[in-house]
Structure 1
Amino acid sequence: MTLEMNLEPGTIAIIQLAWSRRLGLDDEALAGSGARIYREDNAAPLLTFVSLFGREALVGPAWALDAAKDLSGVELARHSTLLSMSRTHGGRGLGEASLLFCDTLPSFPDEGPPVSSDPDDALALERLCPPDDVAEVGLSSMEHSCVLVDESSDPPLPLAGAGYDIWEGILAHVGALTPPDQRRRGRATYAVAVAVEEAMAAGLIPQWRARTDNVGSQRTAVRSGFVRAGTQT
C-alpha cells in the first residue's frame, strides 16, 4: 500500500499546495509526477531537499543545484550528503526529518487529565524536559498550545503538552513534549489528540516533522494517526 492511499486525495492536494508555497514554487509544482524540481536562490540561508508523495524538490544556491544533478533522491535525503555538498561554503547541518500528516479526527479515552492553555504551564513543562527536546519542539513559543496538568499538586504539575504553528495558512505544524518521568503512559498521545482536534476544527491539516533519529517522536506521531508522506533535509 502506498502512503498516498492512507490520506484523502483532497488532503494530499492541499499538502502539496502548502509545501509548494513554502518552498517558493508555483502552486501546482509538487502535484502529479515528473522530474525533480530545482529552484535557484543564491540568497537562500538554507539548502533544502524535500521529497513528498514521490515528488522531489531542491531549493538553494546555484552551486548546490549543479552538484545535485547527478545524485539520486535517496542520496540527497541524507543529511551527510547535503553537509558534504555545502561544507566548503560554510554549511552546517540542521538534520534529516520525516514528514507525517493526519486527516482523521482523533479518538479520546473516557477520561483524561485536565488541559491548560496557560503559557506559564508550557514554560513549567519545558523546565522539566531535556534542553534538546525543548529546542526541537519549541512548545512555549507556538501559536497554539495545550498542557496536561495534575491539579492534585500545588502548583499543578505539567504532565505533557502539545501545540502547533500555522504554516502557509493551511498546515498545523504539530509538536509534543513530555518529561522523561511521564513517558510511556500515553500522555503525549492524549495531548497531541487535543491539539489535532483543535487544528482540524480550524480547517487546518496537521503536520508532524520528526528527526529520523528521534524514534520516540515518530512513534508518537504514528500512534496519533499521522501517516508518513516524505522527508525534509
Structure 2
Amino acid sequence: MADALLLVRARELWVELAGTPAEFSSSGGAKVVVAPSSRLAPPSWTGVVRIGDAALVTAPTVRTAGMVADAARKMSPEELADIARLRAVLPVLDVLGPASLFYLGRDGFLPVHEGTAVEQLPIGDGDGGPAALLARSGKEEADESGLEDISSPAFCLRRGDEVVAAAGYRSWPRSVAHLSVLVAPHCRGRRLARAVASAAVAHALDAGLLPQWRARLRPSQRVAVALGFQELGTQLSVRLGDAPLDRGR
C-alpha cells in the first residue's frame, strides 16, 4: 500500500510544476487544466501525471483542454497514461513516455552495504570521470539517464582508472531529489547501478529531500524497487493535433 505522506508530497511537486492553479482530485479521477507554461511536458505538448488514483493533465490551449477533458470523462486515470487508449480517442501526433514514477521515504530505504568503493566526484571531472562515462555511453543513453543535469555530486564506481557507473540527483521544487543513474554498457548486470544509486539516495535523504525515480525501462525500475522505492504513478507527454478524431470515417 502506498505511503500517504509520499502521495501527498509527490502530488505537491506536480501541482507546482503545472504552472497554474491546479490540484489532484481527492476523490480520484482526472483534472484537466489549461497551462501553457506547464513543466509536466515540453512546450505546446499535453502533460499527464497520475499519482495514486488521481491524474493531473495540463494542456497548452483551451481547445486542447476541451478535447482531453471530453476523453478523460470516459477513461480511468490509469488509461490516461495508456498510449493505445489515447490514440483511440485523441489526435495523437507524438508521444514521450510513459515513465513510471517512484518515491522513497527514509523508513523505506534499503541501502546497499556491499564493499564497493563509491567515490564522490564533480560531474565535470576530467579524463576517466563522469563526463567521460557520459561521452562513452552515447547521446541517447546519456540523455535518457539525465546524469549531465545533476546538481549533486556524482557518486561513482571505477574499474581501473575509468568511471563505469555514476549516479546523482537534480534538485527539483518542493525539496525533491530527481535521481539519475548511468552504467557503462559493458558493465551492466553487475548491480553497479544499485550501488551508486544507493549512495546518491542516502545523500538526498540526509539533506532532507524526497528522492524521486522516473523510469521508462524495466532494468531501471527494478533498481528502484530494490532500493525500497514505491511506484506511485506515471508520467506521459503527448503532442496533439488541433482537430478531434473524425469518428465518422
Could you state the TM-score of these two structures normalised by the residue count of structure 2? 0.78
Amino acid at match of 1:210: A
State the Cα deviation string for residues 189-216 of structure 1 (Å, max 9, x = none): 01111111111111111011111xx111
Give the secondary structure class of the aligned counterpart of 1:70: coil
Question: How has the CA–CA distance of structure 1 residues 114 and 209 changed in structure 2, closer, same or farther, with 3 Å as cutoff?
Answer: closer
Q: Is the 8 A contact 2:177 2:211 kept in 1?
A: yes
Amino acid at match of 2:223: T
Amino acid at match of 1:95: G
The answer to whether structure 1 residue 68 and structure 2 residue 72 are counterparts is yes
State the Cα deviation string for residues 67-119 of structure 1 (Å, max 9, x = none): 433333333211344456244xxx42112111111113442325212413132
Of the candidates 92, 116, 121, which is equivalent to residue 117 of structure 1? 121
Amino acid at match of 1:41: A
Stretches of structure 1 that go unaligned for 5 or more consecutive residues are none
Amino acid at match of 1:128: R
Alignment partner, residue 191 of structure 1: 196
Give the secondary structure class of the aligned counterpart of 2:68: helix
Question: How has the CA–CA distance of structure 1 residues 35 and 138 changed in structure 2, closer, same or farther, with 3 Å as cutoff?
Answer: closer
Alignment partner, residue 53 of structure 1: 52
Q: Is the 8 A contact 2:51 2:234 kept in 1?
A: yes
Give the secondary structure class of the aligned counterpart of 1:96: strand
Stretches of structure 2 that go unaligned for 5 or more consecutive residues are 38-42, 237-249
CA distance in 2, matches of 1:161, 1:83: 37
In proportion to residue count, which structure has more strand?
2
Alignment partner, residue 24 of structure 1: 19
Alignment partner, residue 79 of structure 1: 83
Give the secondary structure class of the aligned counterpart of 1:36: strand
Give the secondary structure class of the aligned counterpart of 2:27: coil
CA distance in 2, matches of 1:116, 1:98: 28
Q: Is the 8 A contact 1:64 1:86 kept in 2?
A: no
Equivalent residues, number: 219
Alignment partner, residue 148 of structure 2: 140
CA root-mean-square deviation: 2.4
